Amino acid sequence: MRDRLILLPGWGLGISPLQPLGAALQGLDEHMRVEIEPLPELDSSNLEHWLDELDASVPQDAWLGGWSLGGMLASELAARRGDRCCGLLTLASNPSFVSHDQWPNAMPGETFDAFLAGCAADPRMTLKRFSLLCAQGAEDPRGLSRLLLAGAPHSTAAVLLSGLELLAQMDTRQALQTFRGPQLHLFAGLDGLVPAEAAEALLALLPDVEIGLIEQAGHAFLLENPHGVAGAIQAFLHECGDD
């Protein structure tokens, strides 16, 4: 179903950051069905468990997309489904969230480890810190941070920790290379969580896919400028439809 797009949210903040984008996309194309699928509430950090849950709940033969962790999971699910996925789009989603020798353009390991320890000690305070990092680079970072936090679900500490542990171990490079359908990956120039250099690194890895960098924007650019992001996505979808 080329007129159906399933969006997956990022870590900890639930589906509300994606809702303005979903509404903007529907407004641009009344035939497009946009659905936001919550992430599984699992206390396991096993990627296959997460993909099994998503595979069972997310409709087949649709476009898959997501923000941050949601984009990483959408990438893995697209690779798993192959021809049963119409295409893939990710927003502020690094192939590896934590840096390593083969992918240095990511969050330093020691920074992430401190984040993980903070979540184990005080999940709510860590979520607040995370929302501030998401809003970094926005015109009104404090206002955007409050908006992000206001819609966050009351997930258990175990679920939040599992999501972070999953984020630490994921590396979607192979999935992105395996998936043969159309791909669009959008990054932000002022992102406090995903370095802008990741866009160039991903283009080197995948020279045949669409990769964009929104210069004056932070990690939560989809919430700060949903209509602009929707326009970019819609143009890409139309281009794919014309092929």
DSSP codes of every residue in 95-150: S-SB-BTTB-SSB-HHHHHHHHHHHHH-HHHHHHHHHHHHHTTSSSHHHHHHHHHH
Strands (E), the chain: 4-8, 33-36, 62-67, 85-91, 183-188, 210-214
Q: Which two tokens stand for residue 71?
A: 């984009």
Q: What is the predicted pLDDT for the residue at 146?
A: 96
Task: Note down the domain range covering 33.
Answer: 4-242
Q: What is the predicted pLDDT for the residue at 204?
A: 96
Residue 96 has pLDDT above 70, yes or no: yes
| 168/147 Cα distance (integer angstroms) | 26
CATH code of residue 47: 3.40.50.1820
Residue 43 has pLDDT above 70, yes or no: yes
Residue 219 has pLDDT above 80, yes or no: yes
Active site (catalytic) residues: 68, 191, 219
Q: What is the CA radius of gyration of the chain?
A: 16
Q: What is the predicted pLDDT for the residue at 94?
A: 98
User: What percent of the chain shows pLDDT beyond 70?
Assistant: 99
User: What percent of the chain shows pLDDT beyond 90?
Assistant: 94
Q: What is the predicted pLDDT for the residue at 242?
A: 60
Closest CA to 147 of 2, 33, 4, 16: 16
Residue 91 has pLDDT above 90, yes or no: yes
Strand order in the sheet with 62-67: 33-36, 4-8, 62-67, 85-91, 183-188, 210-214
| Mean pLDDT (whole number) for 153-176 | 95
| 114/135 Cα distance (integer angstroms) | 20
Q: What is the predicted pLDDT for the residue at 240?
A: 87
Give the chain's domain count.
1
| Mean pLDDT (whole number) for 163-168 | 96
pLDDT category at 243 given cuts 50, 70, 90 is low
CB atoms within 10 A of CB 133: 18
Residue 1 has pLDDT above 70, yes or no: no
Closest CA to 89 of 209, 216, 242, 213: 209
- Mean of the per-residue pLDDT values of the chain: 95
User: pLDDT digit string (tens) for 9-38?
Assistant: 999 999 999 999 999 999 998 888 999 999
